[in-house]
Amino acid sequence: MKKTVIIGAGGVGNVVAQKCARDAETFGEIWLASRTLEKCEAIAADIKASTGVEIKTAQIDADDVGATAAFLREVGADYLLNIALPYQDLTLMEACLQAGVHYLDTANYESPENPHFEYKEQWAFQDRFKEAGLTAILGSGFDPGVTNVFCAYALKHLFSEIRTVDIIDANAGDHGLPFATNFSPEINIREITAPGRYWEKGEWQEIPALSVSTDFDFPHQEIGTKKIYLLHHEEMESLAQNLPGLERIRFWMTFSDNYINHLTVLENVGMTAIEPMTIGGVEISPLQFLQKVLPDPASLGPLTKGKTCIGCLITGTSKETGKEECKFIYNICDHQDCFAEVKSQAISYTAGVPAMIGARQLVSGAWLRPGVWNLEQLDPDPFMDDLNAWGLPWHVLEVDRELSP
């Protein structure tokens, strides 16, 4: 029987475990391991109650390569789904090589000390995974993840050449709290307070954080027109490299004025700083302290109402007409529907379901290809079919003009 190990029992880990359990025939024996055993046990109990499927649990420190590799060998794992934090990517890739296990994650490696992400450390594993006959899939969440697959699908079926890509991520949900982040506060705030970046004509352009914004009309009346801000986001690095002929790629996200006001105050008073300070002889990073006092993203599930919309606005030469066209490929997800299904809001759901779907391609063999891959390098078709089958249906809309500016 196949054996699948999920590491990380946070908001996204819950969704991945819930969804894998609903497809236990594919995933075989399922393990959920994390730093805190009780979190794994609570999720396992919930899965047993809602689906009747028993998953196994374990305590693991994923920063410890030797202990993790020994655990993977002991379990006899075939696949490891890294749903812990980006800090664990390198140690878990190393543990997979030592134990002979295929690897998948949802976020690009970052070191805890430096809020800067690049794929180079993970791409450096390419030869070792190839030689070991093992597959590593990088960034199988929504963005990165589904957005990469949307681009690959567009290139395979809609455009003979892609000229520009604007990835647009809207959360029009409301949790009713004064301020909270929808996934790991530490990771979320590091991402948003970093300088914005986009790629144009072969060069990276850098702008001050949140200094460029525009309005976008989302294709759902419950979302409507929203202000979107230009951010740096990891999938642009691989897409800029892997989409031939691409001239420009940018990433945009919605934030409410209330969110921006809170974040500005927190930044102004130094609460988003990563560098630790010594208080009463104890070293404390302000951002990690802030994470402790902010609501746990997992607690937002029952509170959040409204929808998310994430998609790729793509211009290029249409395969069908040979003319320049602009299309928006997107998914709309409802926070309350997600909570009813897996006790999680849509942000964790939209990250967790694609991790399970990416893992399905590994287990089925469709994406088994020794080496280290970003999702646009793999066949988009079975993944796109699974999005429709497993809760994230997608749509393609003709748009009459590309994003301005």
Residues at the interface with ligand NDP (CB under 6 A):
7-13, 34-36, 39, 60-63, 83-86, 88, 106-107, 141-145, 183-184, 187, 297, 348, 351
Which amino acid, 66?
G
Greatest alpha-carbon pair distance for the chain in Å reads: 69
Spatial contact of 248 and 202, defined as CB atoms under 8 Å apart: no
Compute the distance between CA of residue 53 and CA of residue 47 in angstroms, rounded to an integer.
6
Structure token digits, residue 68: 């993790």
Kindly state the smallest distance separating residue 150's Cβ from ligand NDP, in Å: 13
Select 62 or 162, whichever has its Cβ closest to ligand NDP.
Answer: 62
Kindly state the smallest distance separating residue 318's Cβ from ligand NDP, in Å: 29
Pairing of strands 277-279, 282-284: antiparallel
Kindly state the smallest distance separating residue 63's Cβ from ligand NDP, in Å: 4
Select 11 or 316, whichever has its Cβ closest to ligand NDP.
Answer: 11
Kindly state the smallest distance separating residue 152's Cβ from ligand NDP, in Å: 16
Select 153 or 183, whichever has its Cβ closest to ligand NDP.
Answer: 183
Shortest-Cβ-distance residue relative to ligand NDP: 10
Kindly state the smallest distance separating residue 52's Cβ from ligand NDP, in Å: 24
Compute the distance between CA of residue 58 and CA of residue 71 in angstroms, rounded to an integer.
9
Select 145 or 371, whichever has its Cβ closest to ligand NDP.
Answer: 145
Q: What is the DSSP string of 218-269?
A: -SSTTT-EEEEEEE--THHHHHHHHSTT--EEEEEEE--HHHHHHHHHHHHT
Select 170 or 326, whichever has its Cβ closest to ligand NDP.
Answer: 170
Residue 46's CB is within 10 A of a number of other CB atoms, namely 16
Compute the distance between CA of residue 83 and CA of residue 78 in angstroms, rounded to an integer.
16
Spatial contact of 184 and 85, defined as CB atoms under 8 Å apart: yes
Kindly state the smallest distance separating residue 133's Cβ from ligand NDP, in Å: 26
Select 125 or 183, whichever has its Cβ closest to ligand NDP.
Answer: 183
Classified as helix, coil or strand, 128 is helix
